[in-house]
Structure 1
Amino acid sequence: MSDDHDTERPEYDPTDPAPPSREPPLRSTAPQGEYTIEQVGTGIAIAAVGLLATFGLALLLA
């Protein structure tokens, strides 16, 4: 096994950190985008079906 990968990396000196040569890329994390009316409606419908199944079955079986 060769140690060639160590020659590409400069020696780290914690007392004199070097700033990056360029700015890091902008990050985009979800859910920052806006939702459409259809997406909101689908989410509400799925939540309603889930609540109906959870509480409806419990009331039916009680």
Structure 2
Amino acid sequence: MTDDNGDTSEYDPQEPTPPEREPPYRQTAPQSTFTGSQVGIGLIVTLVGVAVTFGVPLLLG
């Protein structure tokens, strides 16, 4: 397998024989920790969204 730079790689998914070593670990959806301020901002955004979703129709109705 050749990449754009012309380098060859040991791992080829089309090759039936496995490579001598495992392919590099790929993390597609990392879950990182949240800080307290990020949680607070998310809570405020949620409360504003709920207030707009339910408050505006109640005020207009």
State the TM-score bracket (shorter-chain normalisation): 0.5 to 0.7
CA distance in structure 2 between the aligned counterparts of 1:21 and 1:39, rounded to whole angstroms = 43
Q: Which runs of 5 or more residues in structure 1 are unaligned?
A: 1-16
Q: Which runs of 5 or more residues in structure 2 are unaligned?
A: 1-15
Number of equivalenced pairs: 47
Is 1:59 aligned to residue 58 of structure 2? yes
Letter in 1 for 2:56: L
Structure with bigger helix share is 1
Percent same amino acid among aligned pairs? 49
What's 2:35 paired with?
36
User: What TM-score comes out, normalization by structure 1 length?
Assistant: 0.63
CA distance in structure 2 between the aligned counterparts of 1:27 and 1:47, rounded to whole angstroms = 32
User: What TM-score comes out, normalization by structure 2 length?
Assistant: 0.64
RMSD between aligned alpha carbons?
2.1
**Pairwise CA distance, 1:23:** 1.1
Q: Which runs of 4+ in 1 moved over 3 A?
A: none
CA distance in structure 1 between the aligned counterparts of 2:42 and 2:24, rounded to whole angstroms = 32
